[in-house]
Every structure is written in C-alpha cells, then in structure tokens.
Amino acid sequence: MAENQYTEDNIRSLDWKEHIRLRPGMYIGKLGDGSATDDGIYILIKEVVDNCIDEFVMGNGKKIEIKLADGKFSVRDYGRGIPLGKVVDCVSQINTGGKYDSKAFKKSVGLNGVGTKAVNALSSYFMVYSVRDGKKKTATFERGELIEESDLEKTDETNGTYVEFIPDDTIFKKFAFKTAYIEKMIWNYCYLNRGLSIHFNGQRFFSKEGLKDLLENNMDGDPLYPIIHVEGEDIEVAFTHGRTYGEDYYSFVNGQHTTQGGTHQSAFRESVAKVIRDFYNKNYEASDIRQSIVAAVSIKVMEPVFESQTKTKLGSLEIEPGGKSIRAFVNDFLKEKLDNYLHRHPDVAETIEKKIKQSERERKELSGIRKLARERAKKANLHNKKLRDCRVHFTDTKKEEHEETMLFITEGDSASGSITKSRNVNTQAVFSLRGKPLNSYGLTKKVVYENEEFNLIQAALDIEEDMDNLRYNKIVIATDADVDGMHIRMLLLTFFLQFFPDLVKRNHVYVLQTPLFRVRNKQKTFYCYSDEERRNAIEACGKNPEITRFKGLGEISPDEFKNFIGEDIRLEPVMLTKDASIDQILSYYMGKNTPERQDFIIDNLRVEGEIEEEIEKAS
C-alpha cells in the first residue's frame, strides 16, 4: 500500500482572505441560506452594525441608517469615522483595529478585529468609506481583493463610516434575506441602546424604556402583572409572568443577543427562584416559580468569553478577569432590587404567589399521568419504531454537526419511508405520525400526556422537563402538499404553539419545502417550488413538456428526495410577528369557523383550481 506523502509541498501559507473563504465557519459559524436567524448572511450584517453600535456606546452618533435592496446591504453611522489612513487596513488586515486599545473601546461586542474582514472576504462586492472633518476616503473590494482605493477627497458629509456589501453567492448558495429577522435584530439593538435611532428602509426603530419595551412588544397576550424593570451598573433586568406554558428568555451580553443563553441566563434563572423563595419563606419548586416566566436580562462583561465566533452563548464565569463571579453578581443584584420591589408592591407579590401555587397544583395533578406517559413512550419507541433516530443530537456539544440536527415529522409510512431512505443518518431523524393529530386548541397540557401521538413527539424531542434538553436543533414538519397535509401541518403547529411556544420563538420549528411540480423533456428536468418557477420551466422546456404535480411525499422516489433534504434543502421557518398573539392566531385558524376564515379558504381554493387548469392546458 502506498504511503501518504508529507513533505514541504504539503505546507501552505494562506493570506487572510483565502483563509476566511476556505474556513468561513471559523469566523461566522454556519453558512445557511437565510432561513435561520444565525445563518451566515445575518452574521455579516451583525458584524458591520456592531461597529456602529460601539461608536454610539462611546458617545459618538445617535443615528444609524440601514438599507437592503436587491441583495445589497448598506450601513451608515455618524460616529467618528475610521481614521482615514487606516480605512483599507481596518477591513483587510487581520489583527488590525481600534478595539485593542481599551481606552477607545470598553466592554465592546467584539475585540478580536476579525468581523469586518470576514464580511469583506465573504462578499462578492464590498465598499467602505470614512468621513472625518471634511475629508473622505473610499475603498472597494471583490472577495477581499482591493479593486480601487481613492485619494483623500473633500466632502460636506457628516463624520462617520459607510459600508455596503453583497454576500458572495458562491459561498452563500441560494441565500435570501428575511426582513423579519433583520428587523428583530435592529429592535434588539434599540432596546439595548436607549436613545439610539436606527432607520431601516425608511422605517424608524427607537426605544425609550429598553428591556421593558422588549417584553411589551414581544409578549404573547397581556402579562399577569406589570413588568418588573430594574437596573444597576452593568446590568438590566425585566420580567413578568405570561399566560402560556414554558419559560421565555431574552439574554444579552455587551449588546450581543445570546440566543443560546449561557452563564448569565443560568444565573438569572437560579437567582430569581432563590430570591422569590426567600421572600415568601417557602421552598417552592424552581420549575413552579419559573413556569410562564417571560424575562430579559442584559449584562456587561469585561473581556467576555463566548463558546463560538458567532457569540450566541456566554461561557465567562466572571464579570471581569479576577473579579466577582457572574452568578454572584446577578444574585446580589436581584437579592436587593427584586426583594425591594416585591416589598413595595404587595399586589404584584400576591399575584406571583398565586401563579406559583397554580403551577404547583397543575404539576401535581399531572405527575401520575406523566409517569404512565413516560412508560408508554418508552414501550412505543421499543416496539412501534415510530422514531428512526439519528446518531448526533443537538445536546451533543462535542460534535460539530449538532447544529444541523433535525427531526422530520411525517405523515404515513410512504412519506416517512422515502425520507428515511434518503436522509443523512448522522443528523436527520424521522418521526412517523399515524393519522391526523388531535386539534389541541383550548385544551390543557393534560392532553399532551394522554394523547399517544403528542406524548411520543414530546418524548422524542425530550422537552418534558426542560427546553434545554431539546435533542434536535430543527423540528421539520414534512407533510403532503394537499388539503390533508396542510391540515396536519396546522394541527402540529397548534400543538407546538399551545404547549411549547418557546420552540417557535427560539426558531426551532420549520416547514419542509418540497417541489410542487416536476417539469421535464428528454434533455432537461426542473423541480419547481412555486407557480412562477413552473411557468419558467415550461418556457425553458419548450413544446409539450411532461408536467408532474407532486401532492404526496410518497410520490417522490428516494433518489429524487436526496436532492430536497440534502445541501439544497429548503426550509421555511415558522415565525411569529408582534402583530398578533398566539391565541389570536390559533383562534383564527383552529377555532370555530369564522366568515374571515371561510373567505380565505374560498379564495385559495380558486387559486389552486386555476393552477390545475393551467397544468392541463400545458400538458
């Protein structure tokens, strides 16, 4: 057997942009296509905007202008502007930047001098200019390569920095920006930086009361009591109890939204339970205290340590090197502020204790049912094989693949069979439904344990005790593109929204997009996900193409299915807007028939009928 050669020829030296382009995951996490909030294109946006935020935090510029059009993203701040002689270096030289000087930036979002360079290297087009005291410097790049650099120019523009870029579609394949994700990011910047005004495509974003505004704008329904909003040096907390199941947290470190929590969020969860126990002098279960809690916590840490370059989970144990632990810092703060608040507001204290006792009663009522449900779930998994599991799970932090883990929830044996034969056994699991699930709208959580399908789904996800035990990062609803399939999709969404809304709020729930049509002739085959794609494919194929309308997943062969759940998988995230509460949504779609819903159904049936007529004519 020939030996693998290891010589000087195997040693390569990459320049900064080659290294970023070769290993983008080291700098921005996963790539993705824009369907998830932590996909690479949003990290690019964040890296650029973070620099503008740092300027505001240092007292320079109260306005940021952001625009998105035709895939091009631009950001203009009105801070100090990059020093003109260092404009090119700051966006193209690794380990070059102002954040290494602690006098210029304190408790910044990022301190490693990589962010903007990564945006530059991973963009097919990147342009930056800086304005300082009547002078302007501009530089243009393509995939990190300097194309044009201007001399210093005179200008009447206000001081600040402008950046525009287009993500490289050879790296971010088939990407698409979702404005809802960008707006959510912008709102968070405003909540954490009161007094900052951000304009995005003509809309103004602004917050007067910080985290209190965040909860008011994101809560589902009215709170049980007025939001408790307390602040201290380097910490701000807002929380209340809502009317839905689960715990809902928004946590931030130095302005960074830590979507996966970390030591500060754990410290808050532990501390709020401890302070409330001490206040009532009763040993309530922590889960009963926190049931239905909605909270936001923001802290500032000197030299924060995150668990990845994308900074979604805080790993720091101390507020500053050699200083007080984050756990003690948060606990001391709540012990003073929350205890004082509860003493001054006895009506709120009474409401909180009533809520705790209600959660305690429900937990005890369900304890016996839960035990039987766990036994049934274990037996069903052993004998019914409803779950075809994967090898890697979301809770397995030792694996690089854990972010890609997903559970497909399918209907019937034919659909689950096609996906099972086509899937990646390392990261993709399949759960097969038997018939239509129950409409759970308006029911209590008792139904989760008494209904076999719901009980088994919950057991497969492992979310009964704690949402942090979630075994798959993505829960993918994969149903047929017909009336029954759409109904099953709605029943599953009702189940998640009714009993586990955090799964949706944390962007774990998706709908699998599979092609509606296959259009082909002897030379070409097109898979079409929309009516527009179908018409374009018919035109490309010419006269009398063969057109297939896929209505069931079982109609798609395993060989074809590999194309739709592999690298080019299309997932539509299930998103909640602040315009309607979960109860309003479920009432409209799953409650008693209303004239509005009837009109919606009739209008969409007409569209479906028109498409079928077009297909018949084309064929």
Average pLDDT score over residue span 111-120: 74
Average pLDDT, rounded, for the chain? 84
Task: Work out the end-to-end distance of the chain between its first and last CA atoms, rounded to an integer number of angstroms.
Answer: 57
3 state SS of 45: helix
pTM score, whole prediction: 0.78
Given this structure, which CATH class describes domain 16-205?
A: alpha beta
The reported pLDDT for the residue numbered 400 is 60
Per-residue confidence at 615, pLDDT binned at 50, 70, 90?
Answer: low
Indicate whether 228 pLDDT > 50. Answer: yes
Quick: pLDDT tens for 248-282: 899 999 888 888 888 899 999 999 999 999 999 99
pLDDT, position 613: 56
The model's pLDDT over 23-39, given as tens digits with 9 standing for 90+, comes to 887 888 788 888 888 88
CB 433 within 8 A of CB 411: yes
Helix (H) or strand (E) segment spanning residue 525: strand 525-528
Could you read off the pLDDT of 179-225 as tens digits, one per residue? 989 999 999 999 999 999 999 998 999 999 999 999 998 887 789 99
Q: Which of 189, 55, 195, 27 is nearest to 121 (CA)?
A: 27
**What phi-psi label fits residue 123: left (phi over 0), alpha (psi between -120 and 50 degrees) or beta?**
beta
Domain boundaries 211-360, CATH class? alpha beta
Per-residue confidence (pLDDT) for residue 1, from 0 to 100: 46
What mean pLDDT comes out for the span 46-56? 90
Percentage of the chain modeled with pLDDT above 70 = 87
Query: Which pLDDT value is given to residue 103?
Result: 45
- Among 171, 164, 186, 41, which residue's Cα sits nearest to residue 91? 164
Averaged pLDDT for residues 274-299: 93
At 111 the pLDDT is: 42
Dihedral Cα 206, 74, 307, 254, nearest 10 deg: -30
The domain locations on the chain are 16-205, 211-360
* Residues 554-594 pLDDT 10s: 778 888 888 888 877 888 888 877 666 777 777 777 777 66
Q: 350, 332 in Cβ contact below 8 A?
A: no
